A and B are shown apart, each in its own frame.
Chain A
């Protein structure tokens, strides 16, 4: 079983749609969680950090369910510019700062 699992997609949605991605992690001791966005052939960029039960930033909402060991990302009112790959990332050790990356979920927003 992978340490961090995501549905690779692609998710094809029309502009204005609401889309949700889920991510599961295997290490119950994981402490911090992040969503990164990666555009084609570019570096990942931090989208949101998820430290407690969840947080919201504009159209984006991230939620954490520790009991079930999954994290979700909800995007409301999708824009064409939201098309990218979204990486679920888990901090497995605060001593080393080691992050584990999921393979990513690809989103394509269509006009």
Chain B
């Protein structure tokens, strides 16, 4: 089955700790994205990557870091510098088609800071 997987589904973190969220896709998509969603708000872009070994900051990159060492994987680290990290984190991927760019999402990770 082709798709996007994220792990863990739920994550609890103490203040001051870094945590890494996993995102893997086997759709052979070039581009991958990380979003966060807060209650009653639209998704906001954290980071995105169009090709391996390259990534760009989105609108709310402060306190986050990413890597793209493999086409299939785009892990997100939430650092202790992120002031309000409790949120629903969604990873997405798409082909790199300038005529479309339909993004497909993984099931998400709910992060709670205790």
Contacts and interface: CB of A to CB of B under 8 A. Distances in A.
Given A91-B101, A96-B56, A99-B101, A43 B106 contact: yes
Nearest to B103: A99
Say which size band chain A's interface belongs to: 20 to 34
A44 B90 contact: yes
Interface string B10-41: 00000000000000000000010101000011
B102 A34 contact: yes
B101 A32 contact: yes
Given A96-B56, A97-B96, A103 B41 contact: yes
Contacts of A42: 107-108
Interface in A15-74: 32, 34, 41-46, 49, 51
B42 A98 contact: no
Contacts of B94: 97
Interface residues of B, number: 29
Closest A-B pairs by Cβ, 10 of them: A101-B42, A43-B105, A94-B98, A101-B43, A103-B42, A97-B101, A43-B108, A43-B107, A44-B105, A97-B31
7 contacts: A32-B100, A43-B107, A44-B43, A46-B102, A97-B50, A97-B96, A104-B42
Given A44-B43, A98-B58, A100-B42, 13 more contacts: A4-B42, A34-B102, A42-B108, A43-B107, A45-B105, A49-B100, A87-B42, A97-B31, A97-B33, A97-B101, A98-B45, A103-B40, A104-B42
Interface of B: 31, 33, 35, 40-45, 48, 50, 56, 58, 88, 90, 94, 96, 98-108, 110
